[in-house]
Amino acid sequence: EIVLTQSPGTLSLSPGERATLSCRASQSVSSSYLAWYQQKPGQAPRLLIYGASSRATGIPDRFSGSGSGTDFTLTISRLEPEDFAVYYCQQYGSSPLYSFGQGTKLEIK
């Protein structure tokens, strides 16, 4: 079973700053099968990044994804007020078929 561990649990930053979120897998994950989501309170998750580094439709270019193997990163280059939310990484391919990290809460400092 692949376990995804996200760090930090909470990240406190100010608008305009750069955010770096980490997702570490307990076993190697194919880059094609690593995705990132944003979720705001009371809303469904929104796909940000798929295939580890491809932005989903309509996602601003301040969001970028990188990494391979067991270490993946979501970077937000300059935080906008609307970026403060919870972020999840997700993998496909190993039991369970899909799994999510526990989430990183990005809060305003």
List residues binding other proteins (CB under 8 A).
Answer: 32-33, 35, 37, 39, 44-47, 50-51, 54, 56-57, 88, 90, 92-93, 96-103
- 66-71 long-range contacts (CB < 8 A, ≥24 apart) are 67/23, 67/31, 67/34, 68/31, 69/25, 69/28, 69/29, 70/24, 70/25, 70/26, 70/27, 70/28, 70/29, 71/22, 71/23, 71/24, 71/25
DSSP class per residue in 31-61: GGGEEEEEE-TTS--EEEEETTTEEPTT--T
Q: 30 or 75: whose CB is closer to other proteins?
A: 30
Min dist. Cβ of residue 44 to other proteins (A): 4
Min dist. Cβ of residue 32 to other proteins (A): 4
Q: 13 or 47: whose CB is closer to other proteins?
A: 47
Min dist. Cβ of residue 107 to other proteins (A): 16
Min dist. Cβ of residue 16 to other proteins (A): 28
Q: 79 or 89: whose CB is closer to other proteins?
A: 89
